[in-house]
Amino acid sequence: MQLEKREVFSNDIIFIDGLWGTGKSLLAPIVSAMNGVEKVKIEGIYEYVSWLYYLKKIDEDAALWMLRTYADMGQYHNRIGREINLRWSDDTGLKYVQGKFSLIRRLFAGEGDKKAEEISQKNLAYCVMSHMLMLAPDLLLKAYGDRVKIVEVVRHPLYMVGHFSAYLSRFDSQREFTTSFYFNNHKLPWFVEGWANEFIAANPTERAILCVNRLYTWLYEKIDEARQEGLEILVVSFEESVFQTNLILEKLQDFVGRAHHADLDKILKIQKLPRSSIYNGRGHAGYGWSESNKPDKETYKYMTINIRKNCSDSIYAELEKTIAWYNENFPSKLVKFK
């Protein structure tokens, strides 16, 4: 039996993707507030299905059916007010949604075919914040065709090490839902397949560095391949977003093909954009973020010293190569701190 879903919506689908700790939540409120774009959602199903297909754990027809069905179902649920996130502090909660009362009114409005038809007729874009989707993007064009656009957020490798280290430190938690496997009784994230022994032997800082280094190499190989296949991808750096916000706003508008929200200035104020310092903004405290007005040069030096004393020479040398690659491709004022 071949699974298939032919009756699909024709609306745009926008993924705001990135590795852990790249700052996706910085841009999500901006993109999801653009004209005709629905509020952003975090839905793990898209990355799970893509990863499982990459790992050859799910058939292609089943994977495509899941991707198509969940995108259409998620957008229909948006239109009728189902699954509104009422957690105030969440990145996808009401606090960061424009038009809160309009959204709440949907709870008491109608449903049915008319609501479904509006999605394609008005090209109401579905917006999802995903994690590491572009490490396994092979099905996206097959599933969605030219409907799909990927905003890929990248960040300076040095600033990602602490986030990865904090995330991996609680990887055994019951509330950790990243696709994983066990190797010699160690729970490991799916992407370390092939170098599990090296990962296990490393200390927490070294594990984080190894992940950042290798995932960036992997990510850019996949981006090149996907672009050659015709997938539309806009790569946006965190540093450019905070230091050259107006430039990023223009890039997003051109790429998505939609105008920014009339209250864009209000959104930028909430996101604390632009900034004079990287740490003068919002972030996830659980992964090592704390707002600070310290000069970026001082923070950069502190992180460099702390990382250097907690890893081997060979692994630190790998990090330096990744930083050099990043600085060349995404130059910012951080380059002069090296």
**CA–CA dist 153, 16 (Å, integer):** 7
Q: Would you list the DSSP string of 58-99?
A: S-HHHHHHHHHHHHHHHHHHHHTTTT----TTSTTSGGG-SS
**How high is the pLDDT of residue 290?**
55
- The proportion of the chain whose per-residue pLDDT surpasses 70, expressed as a percent, equals 96
Position 254 in a domain: yes
Position 154 in a domain: yes
Position 4 in a domain: no
**How high is the pLDDT of residue 279?**
81
**How high is the pLDDT of residue 169?**
95
**Which residues have C-beta within 8 Å of that of residue 220, sequence separation ≥ 6?**
none
Q: What is the domain range of residue 160?
A: 13-337
Does residue 253 have a pLDDT over 60?
yes
- 284-333 pLDDT tens trace: 544 454 556 788 999 999 999 999 999 999 999 999 999 999 999 999 99
Q: Which residues pair with 233 in a beta bridge?
A: 150
- Supply angle C-alpha 168, 174, 177, rounded to 5: 65
- 81-138 pLDDT tens trace: 888 887 887 877 777 777 777 878 888 888 899 989 999 999 999 999 999 999 999 9
Q: What is the mean pLDDT of residues 273-292?
A: 68
- 168-190 pLDDT tens trace: 999 999 999 999 999 999 999 99
**How high is the pLDDT of residue 282?**
56
**8 A C-beta contact, residue 16 and residue 24:** yes
**How high is the pLDDT of residue 103?**
79
**CB atoms < 10 A from the CB of 162, how many?**
18
Domain CATH for 194: 3.40.50
Nearest CA-CA partner of 131 in 51, 235, 20: 20
Q: What is the mean pLDDT of residues 65-79?
A: 96
Q: How far is CA 179 from the centre of its chain?
A: 16
Does residue 77 have a pLDDT over 50?
yes
Q: What is the mean pLDDT of residues 203-211?
A: 98
Position 319 in a domain: yes
Dig out the tokens for 100 from the structure.
């809160």
**8 A C-beta contact, residue 16 and residue 127:** yes
Position 7 in a domain: no
Q: Where are the alpha helices (DSSP H) in the chain?
A: 24-32, 45-54, 60-79, 100-105, 113-121, 140-144, 157-169, 196-201, 204-229, 238-243, 245-256, 264-271, 296-308, 313-329
Block residue for tokens 């790992």: 55
For the chain, the average pLDDT equals 93
Does residue 37 have a pLDDT over 90?
yes
**How high is the pLDDT of residue 110?**
81
**How high is the pLDDT of residue 293?**
72
Sign (positive/negative) of CA torsion 251, 253, 254, 255? positive
**How high is the pLDDT of residue 294?**
80
Position 104 in a domain: yes
**CA–CA dist 62, 151 (Å, integer):** 26
**How high is the pLDDT of residue 283?**
53
**How high is the pLDDT of residue 117?**
95
**CA–CA dist 126, 267 (Å, integer):** 19
Position 115 in a domain: yes
Position 3 in a domain: no
To the nearest 10 degrees (0 to 180), the angle between helices 313-329 and 157-169 is: 130
- Neighbour order of strands in the sheet with 13-18: 126-129, 13-18, 148-154, 232-237
Number of domains in the chain: 1
**How high is the pLDDT of residue 93?**
78
Nearest CA-CA partner of 152 in 84, 234, 52: 234
Residue type, 182: Y
**CA–CA dist 12, 48 (Å, integer):** 21
Dig out the tokens for 10 from the structure.
């024709």
Task: Read off the DSSP letter of residue 41.
Answer: B
